[in-house]
Amino acid sequence: MIPNPYTVQNNDFISTISVACPKCNLQALVLGGDPHKAISEYEDEVRFSCTSCGYALKYANTPKFTIYTNSRGKDVTSRVLIKNSPFDPYFGFNVWYQIETTYGLLWAYNLDHLAVIENYIADSQRSRNGLENKNNSIGSRLPQWVKDSKNRAYLLKIIQRLKKLYFFRNSI
Ligand SMILES: [Zn+2]
């Protein structure tokens, strides 16, 4: 069942992210993301893997950034996640499912995420069915041009094309 877009956030879809491999431009995966934990608790689990060219990376091996220098002059480092943008939050690779429309960029972390957005666009009622509007929910974050009923047919058509893309391009 596809969840109601007012009950889920973009962040709920980060456990398996489809990205464009930066080496071969084919579809690859960023695995191990966890929306419910602090990054320091699961950073060893996060990895990038491309089955097409064999390129693989461990998130734990990527550099940390200096956040601030403490009172003893010691640099405090951390990993900064890129959230709510068309890149995986860990390595910053382009998400596979993204497309430049006439109105702006439409993107999703994976097919389940895209299904929530597609379902939202297709649903003329857009009822929350009495469900609580989760903070930062997909339904509340989507831009107005995605919500505009006059764009519905155009956007649904473009999503069908996006699902079939074999080579990464951020526009059709
Ligand atoms: Zn590759």
Q: Residue 21 belongs to what domain range?
A: 10-66+74-163
Long-range contact set of residues 47-52: C-beta below 8 Å, sequence gap at least 24? 48/19, 48/88, 48/90, 48/91, 48/93, 50/21, 50/23, 50/24, 50/26, 52/21, 52/24, 52/26, 52/27, 52/28
Which residues hold their Cβ within 5 A of ligand 1, which is an ion? 21, 23-24, 50, 52-53, 55
pLDDT (0 to 100) of residue 165: 80
Q: Cα of 22 to ligand 1 centre, how many Å?
A: 7
Ligand 1 centroid vs 141 CA: distance in angstroms? 32
CA 9 – CA 12 distance, rounded (Å): 5
Q: Is residue 170 part of a domain?
A: no
What does pTM read for this prediction? Answer: 0.88
Does some domain include residue 2? Answer: no
Give domain status of residue 93, yes or no: yes
- Count CB-CB contacts under 10 A for residue 43: 19
Count of domains observed in the chain: 1
- The answer to whether residue 139 sits within a structural domain is yes
Q: Can you name the residues that pair with 20 across neighbouring β-strands?
A: 27
User: 62 alpha carbon to ligand 1 midpoint, in Å?
Assistant: 18
Where do we find the tokens 């649903």? 123
30 forms beta bridges with 17, 48
> Would residue 105 count as lying in a domain?
yes
Rounded CA separation 147/116 (Å)? 13
**Is 4 among the domain residues?**
no
- pLDDT score, position 171: 45
Find the 91 Cα to ligand 1 centroid distance in Å: 14
pLDDT at 169: 63
Distance CA 19, CA 69 (A): 34
End-to-end CA distance of the chain: 29
Domain assignment present for residue 39? The answer is yes
Please tell me the predicted confidence (pLDDT) of residue 23: 94
Please give the Cα distance from 87 to 96 (Å, whole number): 9
Beta pairing class for 65-69 and 56-58: unpaired
The alpha carbon of 49 and the centre of ligand 1 are apart by a number of angstroms equal to 8
Instruction: Give the mean pLDDT per block of 10 residues along the chain (172 residues).
Output: 90 96 94 93 96 96 84 84 93 94 95 95 78 82 93 96 77 45
For 62, other C-beta atoms within 10 Å of its C-beta total 15
Q: How far is the CA of 59 from the centre of ligand 1 (A)?
A: 17
Residue 89, domain member (yes or no): yes
